[in-house]
Chain A
Amino acid sequence: MESGTAAFLQPATVNRLDLKRSEPIQSLEPILEVEGIHKSYRANRVLRDINLTLPPGVVGLLGPNGSGKSTLIKAILGLVSVDAGRGRILQFRWPEQTRALRDQIGYLPEDDCYLQGLQGIESIQMMARLSGLHRTEALRRSHEVADLCDLDQERYRNVETYSTGMRQKLKFAQALVHDPQWLILDEPTTGLDPSQREQFLSRIDTLAKEKGKSILLSTHILHDVQRVCDHVVILAKGEIRLVDTLARLQQPTQAGLQVGVISDVERFMVALTHCGIQSRRTGACELQVLGDGPEIVKRIWSTSYETGIPIQRIDQARNSLEQAFLDAIRDSSRVTMGNPVAIDNKASLPEYR
């Protein structure tokens, strides 16, 4: 296998940023700049030397279960104390000013926490009042965000009668009611059906793009990240493994094409190999082809004609976020604390024919 071929499917090396040395992702003022965060539960080190700078916009916080995502979020909010670490979040010193910081953050917890006996609208109003809105204004604002979150007449029902999806909507409304600068959403789409999830992501998209909200979306659903996020942070075993823009993450290091065929992918790939085109299967009816340009496209069409396998789609190749995620969380022994992640992807890449 040629080294260039292997690099084709690797995320760009620039993806593995050393935050201390690399250029800022955006020229805008970072929303979060923290360094040296350590957190242990007795002998179990949950966060290890977290150095992180987040730009405004929607940032996806990815990581497998137990990677420390929720702990990092709680540490940001001051809901868990850290062993070490300092920095600046929004305009506040962290961790000294976490209390003032919480006025500017809307938090949607992963846990299914609610106060039994309260109506939905009362729950939202209470959270608004805890964030400093006057009673009447809190009620008015609560109805406004309940409308936004599609909580219709259910808002007058007690929260313990809510379905999982409605509770997620309620928690989102509670997080949003005091108009925070930054929203931290911990697994917000868990328990939502596809339609509700799409609506939820659409809401996040609107808030970010039209209302200028910054959002940290912690999830392990890669589709959600691809759908709404500008940037991606991957956390594994308490370490930051990758920070980059989604666009760069999905950009291959070498040009390629994504080809969709109606059927018989394997035979099509063999035929392409005979024409001198390297490819690899990426889905049930999809393959990636190394190289692009008119000549390659012409040869692909010829192969389709010769094999009788119709082509459904040809597009510029993209690295899948799933692959980047798997690459980033793999082989933790090679990760050096506080240094750029050095992951050898060759061992896991599929062979090109």
Chain B
Amino acid sequence: MPILDVGYRNWQGHRTPRWTRAAIIASTGIHLVWQGTWLKRVLLFMVVPAAVAAFIVGTFEQTIERPEARAALKGAFRSPVVQQAANARDIDLDTVLDQPETLRHFSWSYVLFGLLRYPQSIGMIVLIGLVAPRLISYDLRSRGYLLYLSRPLTPFEYVLGKAGIVYFLLFMMSAVPALLVYVVGLFLSTDPWAISHTWDLPLRILAAALVLILPTTAVALALSSLTQESRFAGFAWFAIWVLGSIAFRILWAAEQARNGGFGSRGRRIRMEEMEGFSSWMLLSPYDTLGNVQQQIFGLVPKEAAAWSPWVLLAVVSIVGYTIAYRRVAGMLKA
């Protein structure tokens, strides 16, 4: 016999607006995925490249203030890749190395692009592979979608809520470290004009993060919605990235060989050489994303800038979200 039993009491109160309810799905999902040990490890590991990038930017800022250190800087800017990127922006390296502060925007851009392109993108593939496959597939298998959709939610809001989980994780993983690197760079710079030289970089970081987040989330949700077995979705997710990348490299190398592209340099394929646009790149989501991010940071030669990667990412995004929506909405029609 309880000492106090209030029993059932009616509830009257102000309800939150309906448009906020997708955020509840997202916040619950983030809470759930955050319980995963591997997720925390991956996120922790992703801090390391950001710290390295911050160190590079900080070192650059400290170096340009000291004439004796400029010689070392000149050496670092002699690599063919940097030369190519500099040419793309009509930068005469020989001239500007005497005034390294004029290279500030280019240097920071390159470091930030490198951070997003390599460690963060690869980390993103691993992280989303761990988290996203079960987002919808588990609900389909356990019929958990009935819990959500018996409340005032539309299938669109449900998908948006699920996408919000991935958006949040990817934003935390890509945009936030890059923005922190930018802020650290500003703090470590002794030049008060640094902010005026680099004011556009936060916007470029956000744009690059957006380009990373939107299509990858679409693909992940589409795969998750297509099966009730999350392991199949996970397998498909990794297969898309790995097989796409391998296919691109093989076809690109074959094309280069046919055109005699390796004649003077031997048969070793250099990553930097693949940064330029090739139509085979569209087979590889990783390289397509990288190309678009490179364009966003202004590091692609003008003649190599192409619209097709943008179009492909837009199409993939639309198709991905449409599949996820139709699969969920289809459950309601069944």
A-to-B contact residues, CB < 8 Å: 41, 77-81, 99-100, 102-103, 105, 107, 109, 111-118, 122, 126-127, 129-134, 137, 141, 144-145, 147-148, 174, 176, 178-179, 206-207, 210-211
- A179 proximity list for chain B (CB < 8 A): 10-12
**Segment with Cβ contacts to A, from B81-89, B149-157, B204-212, B237-245:** B149-157
Q: Cβ of B28 and Cβ of A126 under 8 Å apart?
A: yes
Known A-B contacts A111-B143, A126-B28, A129-B24; A206 and B7 likewise in contact (beta carbons under 8 Å): yes
Tell me the complex Cα distance, A160–B13, Å: 31
A118 touches which of B25, B28, B143 (Cβ 8 Å): B28
Tell me the complex Cα distance, A254–B84, Å: 101
Q: Cβ of B149 and Cβ of A211 under 8 Å apart?
A: no
Closest to A132 in B: B15
B13 touches which of A114, A133, A210 (Cβ 8 Å): A133
Q: Cβ of A79 and Cβ of B32 under 8 Å apart?
A: no
Tell me the complex Cα distance, A100–B152, Å: 6
Q: Cβ of A207 and Cβ of B138 under 8 Å apart?
A: no
Q: Cβ of B333 and Cβ of A80 under 8 Å apart?
A: yes
Smallest distance from the beta carbon of A39 to chain B beta carbons, Å? 11
Q: DSSP majority for the B interface?
A: loop
B32 touches which of A118, A137, A147 (Cβ 8 Å): A118
Closest to A131 in B: B151
Smallest distance from the beta carbon of A68 to chain B beta carbons, Å? 14
List the 6 closest pairs (A to B, CB-CB), nearest first: A132-B15, A179-B11, A130-B151, A107-B150, A111-B143, A113-B143
Q: Cβ of A116 and Cβ of B15 under 8 Å apart?
A: no
Tell me the complex Cα distance, A100–B154, Å: 11
Judge whether B8 is part of the interface by a CB distance below 8 angstroms: yes
Judge whether B144 is part of the interface by a CB distance below 8 angstroms: yes
Tell me the complex Cα distance, A71–B152, Å: 19
Q: Cβ of B15 and Cβ of A144 under 8 Å apart?
A: no
Tell me the complex Cα distance, A111–B146, Å: 9
- A80 proximity list for chain B (CB < 8 A): 332-334
Judge whether B95 is part of the interface by a CB distance below 8 angstroms: no
- A145 proximity list for chain B (CB < 8 A): 8
Interface-central residue, A79, A109, A132, by most chain B CB under 10 Å: A132
Judge whether B259 is part of the interface by a CB distance below 8 angstroms: no
- 27 pairs of residues in contact across A and B, judged by CB atoms under 8 Å: A79-B150, A80-B332, A102-B152, A103-B15, A109-B143, A111-B143, A111-B146, A115-B28, A116-B32, A116-B138, A118-B28, A122-B31, A126-B24, A126-B28, A127-B151, A129-B24, A130-B25, A130-B151, A132-B16, A132-B18, A133-B15, A134-B16, A137-B13, A145-B8, A174-B147, A178-B11, A179-B10
Judge whether B41 is part of the interface by a CB distance below 8 angstroms: no
Tell me the complex Cα distance, A148–B8, Å: 6
Q: Cβ of A99 and Cβ of B150 under 8 Å apart?
A: no
- A78 proximity list for chain B (CB < 8 A): 332
Tell me the complex Cα distance, A49–B227, Å: 34
Interface string of B1-12 (1 = CB under 8 A from A): 000011111111
B332 touches which of A81, A130, A206 (Cβ 8 Å): A81
Judge whether B196 is part of the interface by a CB distance below 8 angstroms: no
- B25 proximity list for chain A (CB < 8 A): 130
Known A-B contacts A99-B154, A116-B138, A130-B24; A211 and B10 likewise in contact (beta carbons under 8 Å): yes
